[in-house]
Structure 1
Amino acid sequence: MSSALGGPGMSHRGARPEDGVRDMIIISDIDENGININLKTRYKEDKIYTFTGSILVAVNPYKQLLIYEQKDIEEYSGKKISQVEPHVFAVSEEAFQNLKNSGVNQSCIISGESGAGKTETTKFILQYLCSVTNHTSFWVEQQILEANTVLEAFGNAKTVRNDNSSRFGKFMQVCFDDSQQIKGCIVQDYLLEQSRITFQSKNERNYHVFYQFIAGADASAEFREQFFVQPINTYYYLSQSGCTTLNGVNDTKMFDRLRLAMNVLKIPDQMVDGIFSVISAILHLGNLTFEDVEGEKSDLTSKDKEILDMICMLLGFEAEPLTDSLLYRQIQVRGTVTSIPFKVQEASENRHAMAKALYSRSFAWLVDAINKCTNPGQHESRFLGVLDIFGFENFEINSFEQLCINYTNEKLHRFFNHYVFAIEQEIYKEEEIEFAHITFTDNSPCLELIEKSPRCILKSVDEECRFPQGTDKSYITKQHEAFESHPCYIKGDRRMWEIEFGIQHYAGAVTYKVKGFLDKNKDTQQDMLFEMMHNSVNVFVQDLTRFQDLLGVKLEDMGGRQTISRTTSKKPTVGDTFKHQLNALVDILTTTNPWYVRCLKSNTDKKANVYNDKEVLTQLSYSGMLDIIRIKREGYPIHVPHENFLEKYKCLTPNLSPGDEPRTLSTKILNLLDLPKTEWQVGKNQIFMRNSVFEPLEERRIIFITKKAILIQRTWKGFACRHKYLRMREAVMILQAYFRACRSRLLFKRQRRSAVVIQRHVRGFLARKLATRLKEQKRKEEERKRKEEMEREKRDREKEAADNEAIENMIKLVLHHLLFHLSLRSLHAFICLFLSHLKYSFKFKFNYIL
């Protein structure tokens, strides 16, 4: 039983309740009035949470407080209870850290009356757990949160005490792996209140999903036509109480959230449509009316034919078998099936039973779908459980459901007493340490009256159910005879003996009306209905047949979890099954380290800023809060075996001589550390400490371990740094070598490129110089040739001139001779000769020129 109290608060011994102390165990001479004053003082400051050691007390404020934001989660993450203000997040963190450090499964048990805030507290715990992990499994975390949305829609309803009352119990095992990451969740449900489906008292409502469904249909004409939805005031199952709305709640938005949650949980669209078809069919079933036929049988009225057709289309049934199942029951005698008509009242009750069967199986299907979606696989053995169970109830009319609910609270109250008081003081006795005995209210007699065989109330109900001619009247008569002398049994007023009995519970006396006790305990099977469901064309309706034997399925589920198997070979009853479910739950809780959140109602009118002293004092009285404070303050909440103590704290006294037995060594350590002797005791096998000793001791150990860890880290970091330096130096040298080579290559290439450029320029220069010289030589050569050509031409011209002159002279001479010496013939011959000669001369001149 570990606890971590307010370290700062331990120095304030003698604090007054008027101060609004955060942890009530530090208040001197406290009584129930002092507790009430302390809670009231904090309540007026909107501090609704108060510690009582490791137990958290929560007072319902009936208004929204901005203390559950992400910043608040971060404020509590990684912090001890002693370091923070009281809050449900502080308990969640402590449970999470205990699971992480000790390896022992944890459980958060949330208790209180109906309307005290248990459901909201459950949601805050789940919100915190899904926020403080590393979100490596974010989708699974969202599925767990949305599973709560679906279960709340189908399992919660408005009552006169609570606008969001859980009408079923649930134990959610949030499973973790070794690295503290959420891997899934297992949901176990307990005792869904089926009577609410067909009847609600004044100012109460049916389950939320019905109103959300109608609101969703009002917002969508297509949806309304698909599921044959009618105005809400036309449905008998929704209009009989006169209450169809909730203050501050928009059912249309809630329906959208429900659709989204189903999507996150991977429920196929076909199945979602099937669920809504069943919801609509249940509402239409409630509108069926029956007329009497000759006082011996019944028949549907003429206006019911249309309703019957809609139900058939919604559920995928044939009209004729459905009509037969509504008007007749079948019995089998020696292999022969006989149909017996229902009377009007019987037909009406049968209709209600069909509606209950459809809804309860749909709810079971949803729980099964959630468990399949959030299945943790191999990690289911490491969990942090959150128990949200129905609170103690005492209405004007209390029936079988209230008996089971109050039986649950008796069972959990006994577990709490056994854990907090009985086990603690028994350990003190066994360990032979000095302590002041604390008396507490033991509810064992009341619990034995309800559940202890062979003679108990649940057994009496079961026996009468199995008796062929058993009735509610015969049951109550036999029960009065059997238990009238029991101190917790109230026989009551003689005039009411045939219709009621009472039980003195730990929370007060409750009177139960026995009408319908046997029928509710039997959970009458609808064989004809399930035969039609088996042949249905609606896939969802057909799948519901897996849960035909719902009680048997629940018992098999428990058997699969290594709890308790089916009791007898006979058909189980509701009470029988529920009893074994509770025993299985307690078996699981016994293996965990429990953390308690005690929820209290500030008033019965659900009003904000109203604190009713009388109402709170009544709750404090039966919750045993004063005894809790006393045992927490006067007891020793920290128990450590000697071997573990030595293993953990021997390091604080290194000079301690070994060889002595563990008990002696443990005593020496405590003395050497100079811890106040009034705050610890040494038992035979364990050390018992109060938080004023344990927390400083743990702080010293943490400081010592931190110093040694720092030394180890420093040495390791030095080695790692040296090793890293050598590797880096070697790497740097390689890099430098490669760099230098690269740089040299780059320099060489750059120089070579420069040399090539220079060479190109030099070669260009030389080539240009040579070209100039060659051009000059060519010019001079051409000039020389030109001059020679000119000389040659000059000579040719001179020679031609000389030739021409010679020719002219010859011609002149010839002419002269012709004129004077030749005759005409001679002249002719001469002329011919001349012309021939002249032709030759010109030809020669031409060839010379060429």
Structure 2
Amino acid sequence: MEQDVVEIGNMSEVKWVAFLLEVNFDQLVNFLLPKFEDGTTIDLNAALDNRDSFAMMIYEEIFRWILNRIGLHLKCPLHTGLISILDHYGFEKYNNNGVEEFLINSVNERLENLFVKHNFHDPLVDYAKDGVTVDYKVPNSIENGKTVELLFKKPYGLLPLLTDECKFPKGSHESYLEHCNLNHTDRSSYGKARSKERMEFGVRHCIGTTWYNVNDFFSRNKRMISFSAVQLLRSSKNPIIGLLVENYSSNTSDVIVSQAQFILRGAQEIAEKINGSHAHFVRCIKSNNERQAKKFDIPLVNRQIKNLLLAELLSFRIRGYPVKLSKTTFAREYRCLLPGDIAMCQNEKEIIQDILQGQGVKYENDFKIGTEYVFLRERLADRYEKQQNKICSDAAILIQKNMKTFVARRVYKRKRAAIIKLQAGLRGWKARRDYIAKREEMFKAIGRTMKRNKRLDAYHQALNGDNSNQLQHTLVGYIDINENAKKHWRDQHLILKPLRH
């Protein structure tokens, strides 16, 4: 019997994959298409399974690595802090739905159940605990508790049955469908095949009944984690690639993984995280099916608003009191709305009463006071928030003004002190300069005066003395006589000289 030959269609793509993963090209080829000793290869389905399982393992590990890196970047200083973001596909419904659509829709059904619980049931429970009555009842059309039990409840839920059936060596899609039909007879959530020739079952989801073909459930539910693939990735020259498969380092052989089991575990973890935290649900809608810009398909948007329970949620929030604050928090947050001298003299209950009744009769039906909490409607909560923001903004501006005044005054005083010090130094230097100049001028004046006085003293002494020669020398020494005076004096001296004889 001749066997079909299986070959790799595009070697250049395999070379590119080997280059990106930094693994040996020949080892990658041998993994994707292993050969036996007689030269034959595995069949086409096995080769496709090798390729798909290898790609899925790399995708899952890279996705997990990216999430871990984001978590490290956004880590909270508290070791218990946690931020989780869940992005998932919407419901999928085609003419021929397989195991992929079944798993995706099962997770969506569980998340829809959590949405109804958090946005409808939990607020009603809070109202009842605090003695607050609300004229609203959750409609049966949005209740999907039975469908969630049909899908997830052990041991006979559709997903647990699929997981258990895959564990048996002789398990098949026929036996799986038979077990489903035997264990689920409630037609309100489960539907048997529409005809005996069809291998299918139906599930009544919150968006309507969807039929699933079970012919490929077993083959597509199983995924093999190949030991050869793990060894190949661990041999990569890139250490990050090797770390991606560190979780599989303990495997010594091929491991078969059930997608249904993975979905069960993941859905349970998601439910525990959402139930144990403060969750926010974001509903996304499409404006049109053609993905065109600036086109708004009103019928399509209306259907999405109805199916996503946005209209029902809006009706419930209008009738109820969606904003819940503890009495202590409410009094602490909004006591600024009261005059300070009044708020200082009142207890918590009086403060709450004055704040709520101070908005007038227009808002008298927009709040309820429970035993532990204060419940507000959104328009009253928005009003309080705006008033608080305005008061806090005005107070912040006043604080900023005083702080800026203080800083400016301090800078001014520092500059003024520096300027005064500079002025004092400059004035001192100028005074010293003027003093030195005046002192030198005074010394010069004193010198001139003393010199003049000495000449006058010498002149008077000469006039009073008898020795004319001494007078001559004295006058010459102390009096600056010009040439005419000297000549006149010599003539007089010659005339007087003979008279002495």
The structure richer in strand per residue is: 1
Q: For residue 397 of structure 1, what is the aligned residue in structure 2?
A: 96
Other-structure match for 2:151: 450
**How has the CA–CA distance of structure 1 residues 638 and 328 changed in structure 2, closer, same or farther, with 3 Å as cutoff?**
same
Matched, 1:605 2:293: no
Mapping for residues 415-430 of structure 1, pairs under 5 Å: 415-430=114-129
| 1:631 CA displacement | 1.2
Quick one: distance in 2 between partners of 1:623 and 1:538?
Answer: 45
The question of whether the paired residues in 1 share the 8 Å contact of 2:330 and 2:352 is answered with: yes
Give SS of 2:204's match: strand
CA distance in 1, matches of 2:245, 2:403: 68
Q: Deviations over 1:448-470 (max 9, x none)?
A: 11112222111011101211222
Counterpart for residue 136 of structure 2: 437
Taking a change above 3 Å as real, the CA distance of residues 502 and 683 of structure 1, as seen in their structure-2 partners, is same
Question: Normalized against structure 2, the TM-score is what?
Answer: 0.71
1:507–1:622 contact (8 Å) kept in structure 2: yes
Alignment match of 1:460 (pick from 140, 154, 161): 161
Structure 2 counterpart of 1:316, which letter?
V
Query: For 1:280-359, what aligned pairs fall within 5 Å after superposition?
Result: 294-295=2-3, 300=7, 316-317=23-24, 319=26, 322-323=29-30, 326-327=33-34, 342-359=42-59
In structure 2, C-alpha distance between the alignment counterparts of 1:477 and 1:587, rounded to whole Å: 32
Task: Return closer, same or farther for 1:527/1:378 CA change in 2, 3 Å cut-off.
Answer: same
CA distance in 2, matches of 1:369, 1:730: 50
Task: Verify: 1:410 aligned to 2:97, yes or no.
Answer: no
Contact 1:530 1:545 in 2 (8 A): yes
Report the Cα offset of residue 712 of structure 1: 8.6
**What amino acid sits opposite 2:42 in the alignment?**
F
Match of 1:514 in 2: 214
Residue in structure 2 matching 1:684, options 366, 371, 378: 371
Residue 747 of structure 1 corresponds to 431
Amino acid in structure 1 at the alignment position of 2:314: I
Report percent identity of matched pairs.
18
**CA displacement 1:533-582 (0-9 Å, x = unmatched):** 3334565554443254799xxxxxxxxxxxxxxxxxx9863333333333
Does 1:627 find its partner at 2:334? no
Structure 1 residue 574 and structure 2 residue 275: aligned? no
Unaligned ranges ≥5, structure 1: 1-292, 330-339, 552-569, 765-772, 781-850
* Structure 2 Cα separation of the partners of residues 460 and 454 of structure 1: 7
Gap change, CA 1:482 and 1:534, over 3 Å in 2: same
Shift, 1:698, TM fit: 4.7
1:155 is aligned to none
* Counterparts of 2:217 and 2:104, CA distance in 1: 14
RMSD value, Cα: 4.9
Note closer, same or farther for the CA distance 1:658–1:472 as it changes in structure 2 (3 Å cut).
same
Map residues 3-18 of structure 1 onto 2, 5 A cutoff: none
What are the equivalent positions in structure 2 for 1:455-494 lying under 5 Å apart? 455-494=156-195
The reply on whether 1:503 has 2:169 as its aligned counterpart is no
Q: 1:547 to 1:724 in 2, by over 3 A?
A: same
List aligned pairs for 1:379-398, cutoff 5 A: 386-398=85-97
SS at match of 1:342: coil
Distance 1:535 1:504, change over 3 A: same
SS at match of 2:285: strand
Question: SS in structure 1 opposite 2:225?
Answer: coil
SS, match of residue 282 in structure 2: strand
SS at match of 1:600: coil
1:401 maps to amino acid: E
Contact 1:322 1:532 in 2 (8 A): no
Asked whether the 8 Å contact 1:299–1:327 carries over to 2, the reply is no
Between 1:465-474 and 1:354-363, the stretch displaced more is: 354-363
The answer for the alignment partner of 2:229 in structure 1 is: 529
Deviations 1:807-846, CA, capped at 9 Å, x for gaps: xxxxxxxxxxxxxxxxxxxxxxxxxxxxxxxxxxxxxxxx
Deviation sequence 1:260-296 (CA, Å, 0-9, x none): xxxxxxxxxxxxxxxxxxxxxxxxxxxxxxxxx744x
Alignment of structure 1 residues 21-36 onto 2, 5 Å: none
- Shift of residue 629 of structure 1? 2.0
Q: Deviations over 1:433-480 (max 9, x none)?
A: 332123331111111111122221110111012112223333223223
Cα gap change, 1:539 to 1:670, in 2 (>3 Å)? closer
Q: What's 2:452 paired with?
A: none
Query: Does the Cα contact within 8 Å between 1:415 and 1:586 map onto a contact in 2?
Result: yes
Distance 2:23 2:403 in 1: 76
Give the 3 Å change call, closer, same or farther, for CA 369–658 of structure 1 in structure 2.
Answer: closer
Q: Is the 8 A contact 1:636 1:689 kept in 2?
A: yes
Query: Residues 6 and 41 of structure 2 are in contact (CA less than 8 Å); yes or no, is this contact kept in structure 1?
Result: no
Aligned to 2:201, what secondary structure does the other structure show?
Answer: strand
Q: 1:362 to 1:696 in 2, by over 3 A?
A: closer
Give ranges in structure 2 of 5+ residues lacking alignment.
Answer: 449-475, 484-501
Per-residue CA distance 1:770-822 (angstroms, 9 max, x = gap): xxx99xx9xx9xxxxxxxxxxxxxxxxxxxxxxxxxxxxxxxxxxxxxxxxxx
Tell me the secondary structure at the aligned position of residue 288 of structure 2.
Answer: coil
Aligned-partner SS, 1:636: coil
Alpha-carbon separation, structure 1, partners of 2:383 and 2:125: 27
Rounded to whole Å, the distance in 2 between the matches of 1:633 and 1:513 is 42
Number of aligned residues: 449
C-alpha separation between the residues in 2 aligned to 1:537 and 1:737? 71
Displacement of 1:493: 1.9
- Structure 2 letter corresponding to 1:582: A
Q: Deviations over 1:394-444 (max 9, x none)?
A: 133332222232222222222221122111222222222332123331111
Distance 1:365 1:392 in 2: 27
Q: Give the letter aligned to residue 144 of structure 2.
A: N
Asked if 1 retains the 8 angstrom alpha-carbon contact of 2:136 and 2:319, the reply is no
Aligned residue for 1:524, secondary structure, equals strand
CA distance in 2, matches of 1:711, 1:324: 70
Contact 1:309–1:319 under 8 Å retained in 2: no
**Is the CA contact (8 Å cut-off) linking 1:649 and 1:701 kept in structure 2?**
yes
Q: Give the Cα–Cα distance (whole angstroms) in 2 for the partners of residues 595 and 540 of structure 1.
A: 34
